[in-house]
Amino acid sequence: MARTKKIVSKKKTAPKVERKTAPKKKVVARKKSVSLKDSLLKKLNSNPLLGAIIKIVVIVVGIILIIMVADYGVQYIRNERSVAVVNGKRISKAEWHRVLEKASGQAVAQSLINDSIVMLEAKKADIKVTKDEISKRVDEIKKDLGGEEAFNTAMKAANYQLKDLEDQVKMDLYYTKLISPTIKYTDDDVKAFFEQYSNVLFANETEALKEGEKLDYETFKEKTEEYYTAQMVGQEKQNWLLGKTEEYTIQDNSKETPVYKFFGTINQIIQNLGKK
């Protein structure tokens, strides 16, 4: 018999696979979060002087707030925040200002624009008005009105404060210094002005004259010239302002609400620089 070869199949063994172990996570201890309040308290506890200063500031601010609230309350009770009270109903100053702005806002705005032009022109010409000049003019007004008592009565009737009068006198002096050099006149013009208005310009002196007497022109010439110049400045003021207004770029928001335009501000700045 033929021998049969025993075939033995060799079993293939699977390759060894190395198991990778996940790296151990490091445990990081969380830092305890400190609030702003705790931080401030810690700083204050560590610095008593800083804490004392902050306490004083808080107390002072508190006192100021209490005074402001109390003052507002007193004003409200005394109707100082109202322009009038009708049968207990208050007419607020805000309403009053709104009506005033509507009625005369443009005129006031134009006056402020004019004053701004005058101040800019005075700066260009290096013209100044001193406190002494203003005080001297106010004293002259008091004298013309008949003394301190008559002056105070007139101021009260016009609802004018001394500061208001001084501001007006200041602007009048600026106008006079800027415009008077442009006015041409002769001595005959001043003399004719004196003869026509001397009894008004120098009323007290005229009353003191005896019958048939007249004021001497030479005695009052300098003062008459001041009055004459002031009158001429008043007549020329509007023409002078119109001429100067053309030299400035003016945006009057009281007449028309400004409209936003892209790059409008830059264009306005360029236009203003071009005027200079």
pLDDT in tens, 7-20: 555 555 555 555 55
Average pLDDT (223-232) is 91
Do 87 and 62 share a structural domain? Answer: yes
Cα angle 222-227-228, degrees, rounded to a multiple of 5: 95
Do 230 and 140 share a structural domain? Answer: yes
The verdict on residue 99 lying in a domain is no
Do 241 and 212 share a structural domain? Answer: yes
Q: Which one of 23, 57, 92 terminates a domain?
A: 92
Tell me the residue range of the domain where 133 lies: 106-248
Number of domains in the chain: 2
Q: Enumerate the β-bridge partners of residue 85.
A: 90
Confidence at residue 188, expressed as pLDDT on a 0 to 100 scale: 93
Average pLDDT (122-148) is 91
The verdict on residue 19 lying in a domain is no
pLDDT for residue 130 is more than 70: yes
The verdict on residue 253 lying in a domain is no
Q: Enumerate the β-bridge partners of residue 91.
A: 84
pLDDT for residue 194 is more than 80: yes
Average pLDDT (25-30) is 52
Lowest mean pLDDT among 46-55, 86-95, 108-117, 246-255: 46-55
Residue 185's SS3 state is: coil
The verdict on residue 276 lying in a domain is no
Q: Which one of 92, 121, 156 terminates a domain?
A: 92
Do 218 and 85 share a structural domain? Answer: no
Helix 93-124 with 162-179: angle, nearest 10 deg: 30
The verdict on residue 7 lying in a domain is no
Do 159 and 111 share a structural domain? Answer: yes
Do 119 and 243 share a structural domain? Answer: yes
